[in-house]
Amino acid sequence: MGEAIGQMLPAAVGVAISPLPIVAVVLMLVTPRGRVNGPAFVLGWMLGLAVVGAIVLGVASGVSASDDGEPATWVSVLELVLGLSVLLLGVRQFRGRPRGDAVPEPPKWMQALDTFEPPKAIGTGVLLSSVNPKNLLLAVAGAAAIAQTGISGGEQAIAWVVFVLVASVGVAAPVIVAVAMGDRSRHLLDELKDWLAANNATIMSVLLVVVGAKLIGDAISGL
């Protein structure tokens, strides 16, 4: 199981430090319903990742993701496709980064976060973790990395729980800070939000290129 955790860790870290969801949860925390919506968002985030893992690991277990301890050919092909896709997303993200002192315009849905009720916060968390293309690609890559090691179903489930926990650190940290510090966290969270919003494209482009290169390397090794 240690090998599975080691293989999926880069993808989990990639999901964890995705700036946009962290900005979203910070914005929720500074609204009147922040103490409820923040944890609800994290819950939805984890549920979305759990669903992706259940689907990918379920499919992989039914079609033999491992042959005698080595990744099956189809897993290596999948990793190659995912690696190239992630790499292209990284390049695209870098080319679309704001120039100079330009401040990127936040998505329209972010402007409505102060009107969210807990069910909508949960739904937003699910969408950003499991439907957002960047996070979906990384989550599928992480699940494929676990499946290819050939460990038992129970061990795969434990490894995926570790993936979800690691991948949730980024969105959970602001909630923990807000609960621990109360109103004193407002200034700190505002600074974090502004910095992430300004550097979102650069952070994600570097991250995606690194993870994409690893996936391509693993795929080539397995073919």
**Model confidence pLDDT, tens digit, residues 9-33:** 888 998 998 888 888 898 888 888 8
How confident is the model over 74-88, as a mean pLDDT?
83
Strand stretches in 29-158, DSSP E: 66-67, 70-71
Q: So what's the pLDDT on residue 59?
A: 82
The residues, ordered by sequence, that sit 6+ positions from 37 with a Cβ below 8 Å of its Cβ are 28, 29, 31, 113, 116, 117, 118, 121
177 phi/psi in degrees, rounded to 5: -65, -45
CB–CB of 113/28 below 8 Å? yes
How confident is the model over 49-60, as a mean pLDDT?
89
pTM of the model: 0.83
SS3 87: helix
What's the sign of the alpha-carbon dihedral 211, 11, 54, 129? negative
Question: Which has more confidence, 72 or 50?
Answer: 50
**Model confidence pLDDT, tens digit, residues 182-205:** 777 778 888 877 777 777 777 778
Q: So what's the pLDDT on residue 166?
A: 95
Local confidence band at 99 (pLDDT 50, 70, 90 cut-offs):
low
Looking at residue 106, what DSSP letter applies?
Answer: P
Local confidence band at 121 (pLDDT 50, 70, 90 cut-offs):
very high
Provide, rounded to the nearest whole percent, the portion of the chain with pLDDT above 90.
23
